[in-house]
Amino acid sequence: MADTIEVENVNHPGKVERVDAAKYQAIRTLMLAALPIGQPGLTAAALKEAMLADVPQDLFPGGQTLGWWAKCVQLDLEAKGLVTRAATKPLTFFRPE
């Protein structure tokens, strides 16, 4: 069985899920590197595009499931206060200053 890690969801406080630790850590590293500190931030689409070139192909062949993992990690990092969403349309995300 693969190693797992607990993730939170900013939209469902107190609820915890377990996900693959290697995939989570890979996306977390890429996401935090891609997101700017402070606004205006990046849209979810721009964030996914920024991570796509460096995504590990052994974990995400051809970028498969990158969108799901990006959302999972984004919601977890928001719950932990490491990522902030701006009330824009479309939503934008950034690291707090």
Q: What does pTM read for this prediction?
A: 0.92
Give the Cα separation of 66 and 71 in Å (integer). Answer: 9
Domain 4-94: assigned CATH number: 1.10.10
Give the Cα separation of 96 and 20 in Å (integer). Answer: 26
pLDDT in tens, the chain (97 residues): 469 999 999 999 999 999 999 999 999 999 999 999 999 999 999 999 999 999 999 999 988 999 999 999 999 999 999 999 999 999 999 999 8
